[in-house]
């Protein structure tokens, strides 16, 4: 019995060392947005769900283009054309990749990591695209994303 006691004590202590889960979870959403990148602007609908991020372009010559990203595969569809590729070297300013990467970073945070604003919350972070500022409403819905060093802004409506 004396030999088993230290083993049980070690197991109890190790179980207490498990990683803590974040108390902040970004809700799934489907929202209209305006994207501005290097002086080019367009309207789209951005959906974040369990499957990943989906962007439907609603204006410009790319109207009808659908982009989906799940963290490993990027898919494009336009009319009857469908292309799906592993994410190797796609442009990081692709809105589906940018939003997915921000969601992934934000999901690591707790509510105490969010800076309180009059109209909600804000968080600063970094992804492969660079440093970002994400603004959330009081209900933690995403309001805007800005990558100042890339002249890339997404404003949700």
DSSP string of 80-99, one letter each residue:
TEEEEEESSS--TT-HHHHH
Provide the residue range defining the domain that includes 135. 24-156
Average pLDDT, integer, range 59-72: 95
| Residue 54 lies inside a defined structural domain of this protein | yes
Structure pTM?
0.82
Residue 20 CA to residue 11 CA, distance in Å, equals 18
- The 10 Å Cβ neighbour count of residue 99 is 24
CATH number of the domain within which 148 lies: 2.50.20
Residue 70 lies in a domain: yes
Angle at 19 between CA 15 and CA 24, to 5 degrees: 135
DSSP 8-state secondary structure symbol assigned to residue 150: G
74 is a domain residue: yes
Residue % of the chain over a pLDDT of 90:
62
What is d(CA 55, CA 67) in angstroms, rounded to the nearest whole number? 5
**Total residue count of the chain as it appears in this document:** 157
In a domain, 83, yes or no: yes
Is the pLDDT at 14 greater than 70, yes or no?
A: no
Tell whether 39 is covered by a domain. Answer: yes
- Kindly state the DSSP code that residue 20 receives in the 8-state scheme: P
- How far apart CA 53 and CA 136 sit, in angstroms, is 17
**Six-digit token pair at 2?**
């004396």
Number of domains in the chain: 1
84-96 mean pLDDT? 87
First to last CA, the chain: 65
Residue 3 has pLDDT above 70, yes or no: no
Q: CA geometry: angle at 40 spanning 137 and 62, to 5°? A: 95
Residue 20 reports pLDDT greater than 90: no
> Does residue 145 lie within any of the structural domains?
yes
């Amino acid at each position: 019995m004396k030999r088993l006691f230290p083993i049980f004590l070690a197991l109890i202590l190790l179980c207490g060392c498990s990683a803590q889960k974040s108390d902040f979870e970004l809700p799934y959403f489907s929202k209209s947005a305006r994207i501005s990148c290097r002086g080019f602007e367009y309207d789209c609908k951005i959906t974040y769900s369990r499957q990943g991020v989906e962007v439907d372009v609603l204006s410009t010559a790319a109207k009808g283009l659908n982009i989906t990203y799940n963290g490993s595969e990027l898919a494009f569809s336009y009319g009857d054309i469908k292309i799906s590729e592993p994410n190797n070297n796609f442009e990081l300013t692709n809105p589906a990749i940018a939003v997915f990467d921000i969601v992934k970073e934000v999901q690591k945070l707790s509510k105490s990591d969010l800076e309180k604003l009059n109209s909600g919350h804000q968080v600063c972070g970094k992804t492969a695209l660079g440093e970002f500022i994400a603004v959330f409403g009081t209900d933690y819905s995403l309001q805007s994303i800005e990558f100042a060093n890339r002249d890339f802004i997404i404003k949700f409506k």
